[in-house]
Every structure is written in structure tokens, then in C-alpha cells.
């Protein structure tokens, strides 16, 4: 038995470590047939059409794609029954379905077990043998155990489907959304890494060359930043600032000098120093810091290329849209391509935290990161970058490219149609008006909100400006950031939330030591009250930034008790007193709490006398009501903000807010889910806050609905016993009023 467990563990580990999906599937089938001594082992995977596609087989012929239609054959029976099927003579079974191209008639017995992930069958593992003999109970048990371990890995393996050219498809991670089609321009970064050692002939001359190089690159960075235009958000300026900071870093400068004095020529001295710092960052536990190692490598290559006299990327020889591709694609590479020509970015390394991804998001350029090294590519090769799915397709066929072009058109056309609603009110057909606000956090998000017609900022997540910096921003720095938001939304309300770090939001420079239950730990107002100096600085900065604007509302996260609220209100009085004494013209902002922890709900009547408004944070409220970690993929399927328990509690909050005359908004993801919007509107919520990109669709829905109908639907929904039943009920109505059809029609119009 121990031996079996060892074999099982070995197979799972080897499969998990295999370098490509193709290697993974062949390892699975080869190892199983080896361990069980079966003539055939095959792995089938369910595709979008619910057919079973043969991904790999040891023993069956499968030169072309082999597909078993939905529910057919013994494989279909395994999937349907969710149970092993173990028979000595497959052909004698009533469900037998013959696949001529595989020449499987040579094999007599059949044993299939389902691969189940989160309660759903995603594939079937089959072994067959020439002998008319059922598989032993022990081997069947082994297959069942192995299948349950492999399901998660297999779920990540792509299945052949209609529009994809599987051979040339490579998965990475999502860097920035959107789809781009174009020709590759390789960015040959990483050259510094291959610089050989050589002696330095003249130390003094090389030292001054180093000084000059630093100056030249500083100038280049200035020019590149200017080339990206004035519209670039602060998140992008921050990237250039980071480069400048590194260039001015005495430790780096002196390390290169020391290497030169050791007798190395400049490129090698640079290589050693850059590698040294990159390794330090690479070894850090925190993902954000690890990603900063890339900035150092980018800069190293930039310095090296400048030393060689490289003038940056030339894309003139490439016709049409350009996709930049390389181990890393630096901000400088991006800046050297005219923005109307840059259609996508692919990095072999990196993550969604890379500065390349941050910049791609800000510029609206699709990006895929971390594809792994791809060899044999040339400048000018065709490629599709699918940032929505985190995948790329190399050398796409005309059919594949055509399908993706339709998707691009669809996105464009829907955006255009919805943009026409910008200045129209979010008013139902029976004249019930809602206010639609936007959620933001980065300065980069300000303009999209205004462009999509947001009537205010319902949630400004202040932790984001804190997260993209290398240390706590000073009061003056915070004033600048907040001022720009408050001014951009002059005369419109802005709800700024005090720092809500902890849980899934960490500050790289303030690690909160490992907690067993971070979601229940030191986060939100608990953290800031314990670090009251930070809260004081932040509140002072908010009040100073609002001077003369009068649109600031302060929102407190994760409040669970009156003492927390009282301590904050005392701090607020203190901050106002201090600032007045210092000569600032200040006014008292309105203050409210997030209702995002169940404990807050029953205390609303007690808090009503202290606060001016409440805002439901449906993300956390659902997470804490359902005791489901919102970031845990294993339970993600169960998490639903239209769960009956959540709906009933949200309604309770809305009713209490009405009773105690407290203005109310809702700012979690629920606000942008069409199904939830129908129900929230019926409850009487008048203000919803969501990301700018989702706002036009919600407005379209509200304008297509009648408030009276939503009321009727809510009454029924509140009697239903599952999220699924609630979703079906509301969805039927969305079909009936043509909302779903409108969204589909945009696609048809684009395809025509």
C-alpha cells in the first residue's frame, strides 16, 4: 500500500513539474500504464461543447483529434454517472461506442474513472487491456485516487476547441486586458547577462565614462517619458521615478566604481553590480518586491545598450501593428514605439505586478506575462495577444485570426454603443433615478470614471497609492494625490476610505507578520487605530486636500464597534483643531462606515447618531456572512453575493438605513452584476459604485428596466432557497426585457 502511495505521489509531482501541457498529459498516460501494466491509458477532457476530447493516449492511435460526442460511449457513461465503470468486455456493453480511427477493437476490457473538480466532471481517465479481465479492485482504487489528485492540474490544460490552433497556443498570466493582433518585434533585453569579462585598460577614463553614462541615461529617460505624452497617469510617472531613483542610488553607483577599480571593463562591472541587486530583490518573499528585480534588470540593459550606442527599438521595418515580445519588455521599449502602432506586449517572464503590466494597463495595451521562454521566433512573425485570457497564439491561421478580429470588433462596438449613454441619467422606464458612482484607487482611474459618466467617487481605495510606493507617503505627498481626485470630481461627492491594508492587501514596506487568519486579523481600522500616527497623517492630508472643495466624505473600513468609531471621531476633531491652528482653512468632512462585517449590521441604529452615511462593502460582507475566503479558488464557486443569506442581510441594512435616515450606497462587486442590480434597485438602494469600465452596462440595464417590475422580482427572489434559483429568476427577466439580447446583438453587429 505504501508503495502505491509513493507511486501516486511521484506521478502527481512529476506531472506538476512538467514544463508544458503536452509533456504533462503524456507523462500522465505513460506513468499510469507503466504502474498498472495496462495496454492502454487515455486521458479525455471535456470541451466547451461538452464533448470528450482525447488529450493523450498510451496505446491508442490518435494522429488526428479524437472526440467522443456528449454523453456517448463508456466514457460518456463515466462522466454522467460520476462513478468508475469497470468491465471485462467493453464491446459487449450497451453503451459501447466504437472509435474506428483509434483501432481500439484490439482492446477488450475497459476501466474509466471521472476527473472531478469542484463537484463537476472535467474529464475521464481510461485504461484498457487486451485481456477480457476486469481491472483489479486495487488498481481501480489507485486510478480513483490519482484522478482526484490530477483534476486540478488537468483543469489548466487547454482543450482543443473550435477557434484555437492548439499547437501554437501558449499560456501566460493576464498582464493587461484586451486583444491585439500584429507582428512580433523582439526586444533583445538580457544582453547584459551575456557580457564576458574583460580587463579595464584605463581605470580613470572608465570611471568618468560611467559618470557620463549615468547622465546620458537620465536624459534618455526624460525623453522617453515625454514621448509617452502628458496624459500618462501617476502610476506611469512612478515607473520613471523608480528608474531615476535607481540611477541616483549611491550604493549602485559606488558598486560599479568598485568593480571598475577591481580591473573589470565597464560592461562587466555593470553586469556584476546589476546582478547583485537583482538577486537581492529576487530572493525577497514579497511578490511586489520580487517584481522590482525586473526594474533593476531593465535599467541594467538600458545602461548597457546606451554604452553600446544603441538608439532604442526601431520598428520601421515592420508593417502594421507591432507586438513587443521578449524575456522582458522595458518601459523604454514601449516608449520607442509610436502608440498608434503598439498593439500588444508579451513577456516571457514577469507577473501582473511587473511595471510593464502596470504601464500596459494604463495605456490600454493588451499584455500577457510569464509565458516562459519561446524559441524560434523572428521579427515580423504573426501573433495574437489575448490579455483577457492570458494567452498568446503564434502564427495563427486566417480562420483563427478572423475569429479574434471579430472579438476585437465586438469589444469596440459595445464600448461605442454604451458610451452614448454617458450624459443620460440612470433612470428606469418608470422614472426611478439611481446615482452611479465609480470606484477608484489609482490616479490612472480618474479619467475613465469621468468619461463613463460617473456622478462621483463612491469608493476611493487609498491603500493603492500606498501600495505602489516604496515607503509610506508623507502628508504632503498624500495631499497632492488626494487633491487631484477631489479636484477632478469638484462638485461631486468623493468617498475616501482610510487605509484598509491587511488581509489580501499588503504594503511591501510594512509586512504584517504571518497570521493564521489574515482575513480575521490586523486589517482595516484595526490596523490604523493601532498605528494612529499613520491615520492622523492620512486624515490631515485628506482634510487639507479638500480645502475649498467640500466634497470629501471619509469612509471607515471594517468597523465593528462603537469605541472604534469614537476613537476615530476624536482623532478627526484633533486633526481639524491642529490644522486650523496651523492656519489652514478647513471644514469638517462627512464621516461614514463601511458595512462589510456582519457585526456592523445590528449596530447601525446605535451608530446613526454619530455618522452621516453608510456604504455596503458587499465583497467582504458576503465573505464574512458565508465564511468563504473570496480569494480561495477552491471555494470560489460557492461564493456568490446573491446567496439568499447575503440578499436578506443587505435588505435588512437598506431598511435600517431608511428608518434611521442614513444615506446609503453599495460599493462592492455586487454593484456591477446585472442580476444583483435588479434586486438592489428594488430594495431601494439609490447609489451604486463600481469600476468605470462596468458603469455603462449597468446604466443601460437600469434604463431598460421598470422599478415596479424589479419590486415584483425581488419579492419572489426573497422566497428562493439558492443562488442559482435567484440567478435564474432574474436572468429570465433580463431575457424578457431584451438586455441579454442587446449584449449579444453587439456581437452579431460586429460580426456582420
d(CA 652, CA 656): 6
667 makes contact, choosing from ligand PEP, Mg ion, none, with CB < 5 to 8 Å by partner type, with ligand PEP
Q: Which CA distances in Å does 158 have to 5, 47, 167? A: 28, 9, 11
Q: CB-based burial of residue 134 (10 Å sphere; 0-12 exposed, 13-18 middle, 19+ buried)?
A: middle
Residue 39 touching ligand PEP (CB under 6 A):
no
DSSP 460: E
Residue 295 touching Mg ion (CB under 5 A):
no
Of 109 and 618, the one with the shorter C-beta distance to ligand PEP is: 618
618 makes contact, choosing from ligand PEP, Mg ion, none, with CB < 5 to 8 Å by partner type, with ligand PEP
Number of residues that this document lists for the chain: 752
Residues 439-471, buried b or exposed e (16+ Cβ, 10 A)? bbbbbbbbebbbebbbbbbbbbbbbbbbbbbee
Question: Closest separation between CB of residue 4 and ligand PEP, Å?
Answer: 45
Question: Closest separation between CB of residue 710 and Mg ion, Å?
Answer: 26
Residues 638-669, buried b or exposed e (16+ Cβ, 10 A)? ebbbbbbebbebbbebbebbeebebbbbbbbb
Provide the 3-class DSSP secondary structure of residue 61. Answer: coil
Contacts 24+ apart (CB under 8 A), 651-658: 651/683, 651/718, 652/601, 653/595, 653/601, 653/604, 653/614, 653/616, 654/683, 654/684, 654/685, 656/601, 656/604, 656/605, 657/604, 657/614, 658/684
Residue 556 touching ligand PEP (CB under 6 A):
no
DSSP 692: G
d(CA 478, CA 373): 40
Question: Closest separation between CB of residue 605 and Mg ion, Å?
Answer: 22
691 makes contact, choosing from Mg ion, ligand PEP, none, with CB < 5 to 8 Å by partner type, with none
224 makes contact, choosing from ligand PEP, Mg ion, none, with CB < 5 to 8 Å by partner type, with none
Question: Closest separation between CB of residue 85 and ligand PEP, Å?
Answer: 45
State the cell numbers at 169.
497556443
Residue 478 touching ligand PEP (CB under 6 A):
no
Question: Closest separation between CB of residue 386 and Mg ion, Å?
Answer: 30
668 makes contact, choosing from Mg ion, ligand PEP, none, with CB < 5 to 8 Å by partner type, with ligand PEP
Q: In sequence order, which residues have a C-beta less than 8 Å from that of residue 361 and are 6 or more positions away? A: 175, 176, 177, 367, 444
Residue 641 touching ligand PEP (CB under 6 A):
no
Of 519 and 579, the one with the shorter C-beta distance to Mg ion is: 519
493 makes contact, choosing from ligand PEP, Mg ion, none, with CB < 5 to 8 Å by partner type, with none
Give the count of residues interacting with Mg ion (CB under 5 A). Answer: 3
Helix and strand numbers (H, E) in the chain are: 27, 23
Question: Closest separation between CB of residue 413 and ligand PEP, Å?
Answer: 31
Q: CB-based burial of residue 36 (10 Å sphere; 0-12 exposed, 13-18 middle, 19+ buried)?
A: buried
Question: Closest separation between CB of residue 613 and ligand PEP, Å?
Answer: 15
Residue 618 touching ligand PEP (CB under 6 A):
yes
Residue 518 touching ligand PEP (CB under 6 A):
no
Do 498 and 525 touch, CB atoms closer than 8 A?
yes
Question: Closest separation between CB of residue 596 and ligand PEP, Å?
Answer: 5
State the cell numbers at 116.
472531478
Of 620 and 673, the one with the shorter C-beta distance to ligand PEP is: 620
d(CA 294, CA 304): 15
User: CB under 6 A: which stretch of 122-130, 216-224, 313-321, 615-623 binds ligand PEP?
Assistant: 615-623
Among 413, 619, 706, 731, binds ligand PEP (CB under 6 A): 619
Give the H or E element holding residue 127: strand 120-129
Q: Write down the catalytic residue from 298, 355, 641, 643.
A: 355
Q: What is the pattern of x (binds ligand PEP, CB under 6 A) and - over residues 680-719?
A: ----------------------------------------
461 makes contact, choosing from Mg ion, ligand PEP, none, with CB < 5 to 8 Å by partner type, with ligand PEP
Of 85 and 657, the one with the shorter C-beta distance to Mg ion is: 657
Q: Which three-class secondary structure string do you get for 334-381?
A: HHCCCCCCEEEEEECCCCCCCHHHHHHHHHCCCEEECCCCCCCCCCCC
Question: Closest separation between CB of residue 498 and Mg ion, Å?
Answer: 12
Catalytic annotation present for 667:
yes
Residue 463 touching Mg ion (CB under 5 A):
no
Among 596, 640, 649, 709, binds Mg ion (CB under 5 A): 596
Residue 665 touching ligand PEP (CB under 6 A):
no
Question: Closest separation between CB of residue 617 and ligand PEP, Å?
Answer: 3
Do 498 and 478 touch, CB atoms closer than 8 A?
no
Question: Closest separation between CB of residue 667 and Mg ion, Å?
Answer: 9
Q: What dihedral angle (degrees, nearest 10) is formed by the CA atoms of 734, 735, 739, 743? A: 130
Q: How far is CA 563 from the centre of its chain?
A: 36
Residue 502 touching Mg ion (CB under 5 A):
no
Residues 90-119 that bind ligand PEP (CB under 6 A): none
Residues 591-610 that bind ligand PEP (CB under 6 A): 596
Residue 459 touching ligand PEP (CB under 6 A):
yes
Backbone angles phi, psi at 286, to 5 degrees: -75, 130
Q: What is the pattern of x (binds Mg ion, CB under 5 A) and - over residues 619-658?
A: -x--------------------------------------
Residues 606-625 that bind Mg ion (CB under 5 A): 617, 620
Among 620, 649, 673, 709, binds ligand PEP (CB under 6 A): 620
Q: CB-based burial of residue 25 (10 Å sphere; 0-12 exposed, 13-18 middle, 19+ buried)?
A: buried
Residue number with the smallest Cβ distance to Mg ion = 620
Of 44 and 613, the one with the shorter C-beta distance to ligand PEP is: 613
Question: Closest separation between CB of residue 461 and ligand PEP, Å?
Answer: 5
Q: Write down the catalytic residue from 41, 111, 200, 667.
A: 667
Residue 592 touching Mg ion (CB under 5 A):
no
459 makes contact, choosing from Mg ion, ligand PEP, none, with CB < 5 to 8 Å by partner type, with ligand PEP
d(CA 516, CA 631): 15
User: CB under 6 A: which stretch of 171-179, 228-236, 614-622, 728-736 binds ligand PEP?
Assistant: 614-622
Residue 617 touching ligand PEP (CB under 6 A):
yes
Do 32 and 10 touch, CB atoms closer than 8 A?
no
Residue 461 touching ligand PEP (CB under 6 A):
yes
Residue 458 touching ligand PEP (CB under 6 A):
no
Backbone angles phi, psi at 293, to 5 degrees: -60, -30
Give the count of residues interacting with ligand PEP (CB under 6 A). Answer: 10
Of 33 and 691, the one with the shorter C-beta distance to ligand PEP is: 691
State the cell numbers at 91.
464491446
Strands (E) across 59-119 are located at 67-68, 85-87, 109-117
* Site for ligand PEP, rule CB under 6 A: 459, 461, 500, 596, 617-620, 667-668
Catalytic residues: 355, 667
* Site for Mg ion, rule CB under 5 A: 596, 617, 620
Amino acid at each position: 500500500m505504501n508503495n502505491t502511495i509513493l507511486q501516486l505521489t511521484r506521478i502527481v509531482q512529476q506531472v506538476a513539474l512538467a514544463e508544458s501541457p503536452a509533456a504533462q498529459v503524456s507523462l500522465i498516460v505513460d506513468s499510469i500504464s507503466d504502474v498498472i501494466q495496462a495496454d492502454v491509458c487515455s486521458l479525455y477532457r471535456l470541451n466547451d461543447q461538452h464533448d470528450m476530447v482525447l488529450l493523450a493516449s498510451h496505446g491508442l492511435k490518435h494522429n488526428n483529434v479524437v472526440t467522443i460526442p456528449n454523453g456517448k460511449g463508456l466514457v460518456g457513461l463515466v462522466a454522467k454517472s460520476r462513478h468508475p465503470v469497470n468491465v471485462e468486455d467493453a464491446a459487449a456493453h450497451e453503451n459501447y461506442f466504437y472509435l474506428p480511427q483509434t483501432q481500439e477493437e484490439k482492446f477488450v476490457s475497459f476501466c474509466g474513472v471521472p476527473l472531478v473538480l469542484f463537484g463537476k466532471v472535467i474529464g475521464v481517465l481510461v485504461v484498457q487491456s487486451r485481456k477480457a479481465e476486469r481491472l483489479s479492485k486495487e488498481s481501480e482504487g489507485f486510478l480513483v485516487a490519482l484522478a482526484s489528485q490530477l483534476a486540478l492540474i488537468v483543469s489548466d490544460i487547454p482543450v482543443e476547441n473550435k477557434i484555437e490552433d492548439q499547437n501554437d497556443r501558449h499560456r501566460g498570466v493576464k498582464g493587461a486586458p484586451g486583444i491585439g493582433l500584429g507582428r512580433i518585434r523582439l526586444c533583445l533585453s538580457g544582453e547584459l547577462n551575456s557580457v564576458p569579462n574583460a580587463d579595464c585598460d584605463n581605470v580613470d577614463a572608465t570611471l568618468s565614462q560611467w559618470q557620463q553614462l549615468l547622465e546620458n541615461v537620465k536624459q534618455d529617460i526624460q525623453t522617453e517619458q515625454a514621448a509617452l505624452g502628458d496624459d500618462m497617469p501617476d502610476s506611469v510617472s512612478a515607473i520613471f521615478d523608480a528608474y531615476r531613483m535607481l540611477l541616483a542610488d549611491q550604493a549602485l553607483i559606488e558598486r560599479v566604481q568598485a568593480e571598475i577599480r577591481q580591473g573589470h571593463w565597464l560592461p562587466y562591472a555593470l553586469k556584476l553590480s546589476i546582478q547583485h541587486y537583482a538577486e537581492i530583490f529576487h530572493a525577497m518573499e514579497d511578490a511586489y518586491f520580487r517584481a522590482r528585480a525586473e526594474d533593476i534588470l531593465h535599467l541594467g540593459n538600458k545602461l548597457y545598450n546606451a554604452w553600446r550606442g544603441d538608439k532604442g527599438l526601431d520598428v520601421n521595418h515592420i508593417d502594421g501593428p507591432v507586438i513587443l515580445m521578449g524575456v522582458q519588455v522595458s518601459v523604454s521599449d514601449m516608449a520607442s514605439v509610436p502608440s498608434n502602432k503598439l498593439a500588444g506586449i508579451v513577456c516571457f517572464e514577469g507577473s501582473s505586478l511587473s511595471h510593464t503590466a502596470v504601464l500596459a494597463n494604463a495605456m490600454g495595451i493588451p499584455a500577457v506575462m510569464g509565458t516562459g521562454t519561446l524559441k524560434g521566433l523572428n521579427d515580423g512573425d504573426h501573433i495574437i495577444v489575448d490579455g483577457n485570457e492570458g494567452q498568446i497564439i503564434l502564427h495563427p491561421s486566417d480562420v483563427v485570426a478572423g475569429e479574434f478580429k471579430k472579438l476585437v470588433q465586438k469589444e469596440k462596438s459595445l464600448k461605442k454603443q454604451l458610451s452614448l449613454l454617458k450624459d443620460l441619467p440612470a433612470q428606469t422606464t418608470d422614472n426611478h433615478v439611481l446615482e452611479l458612482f465609480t470606484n477608484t484607487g489609482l490616479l490612472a482611474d480618474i479619467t475613465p470614471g469621468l468619461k463613463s459618466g460617473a456622478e462621483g467617487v463612491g469608493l476611493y481605495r487609498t491603500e493603492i497609492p500606498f501600495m505602489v510606493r516604496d515607503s509610506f507617503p508623507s502628508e504632503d505627498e498624500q495631499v497632492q494625490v488626494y487633491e487631484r481626485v477631489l479636484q477632478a470630481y469638484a462638485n461631486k461627492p468623493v468617498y475616501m476610505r482610510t487605509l484598509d491594508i491587511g488581509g489580501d492587501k499588503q504594503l511591501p514596506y510594512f509586512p504584517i507578520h504571518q497570521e493564521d487568519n489574515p482575513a480575521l486579523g490586523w486589517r482595516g481600522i484595526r490596523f490604523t487605530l493601532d498605528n494612529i500616527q499613520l491615520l492622523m497623517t492620512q486624515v490631515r492630508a485628506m482634510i487639507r486636500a479638500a480645502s475649498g472643495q467640500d466634497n470629501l466624505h471619509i469612509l471607515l473600513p471594517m468597523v465593528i464597534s462603537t469605541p472604534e468609531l469614537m476613537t476615530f471621531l476624536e482623532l478627526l476633531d484633533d486633526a481639524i483643531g491642529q490644522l486650523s491652528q496651523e492656519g489652514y482653512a478647513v471644514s469638517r468632512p462627512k464621516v461614514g462606515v463601511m458595512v462589510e462585517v456582519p457585526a456592523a449590521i445590528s449596530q447601525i441604529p446605535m451608530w446613526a447618531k454619530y455618522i452621516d452615511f453608510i456604504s455596503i462593502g458587499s465583497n467582504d460582507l458576503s465573505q464574512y456572512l458565508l465564511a468563504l475566503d473570496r480569494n480561495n479558488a477552491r471555494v470560489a464557486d460557492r461564493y456568490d453575493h446573491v446567496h439568499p443569506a447575503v440578499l436578506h442581510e443587505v435588505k435588512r441594512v437598506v431598511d435600517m438605513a431608511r428608518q434611521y435616515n442614513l444615506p446609503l450606497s453599495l460599493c462592492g462587486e455586487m454593484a456591477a452584476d446585472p442580476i444583483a442590480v435588479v434586486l438592489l434597485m428594488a430594495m431601494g438602494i439609490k447609489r451604486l459604485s463600481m469600476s468605470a469600465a462596468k458603469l455603462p452596462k449597468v446604466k443601460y440595464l437600469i434604463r431598460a428596466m421598470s422599478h415596479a417590475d424589479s419590486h415584483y422580482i425581488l419579492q419572489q427572489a426573497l422566497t428562493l432557497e439558492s443562488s442559482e434559483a435567484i440567478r435564474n429568476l432574474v436572468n429570465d427577466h433580463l431575457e424578457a426585457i431584451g438586455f441579454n439580447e442587446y449584449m449579444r446583438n453587439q456581437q452579431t453587429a460586429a460580426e456582420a
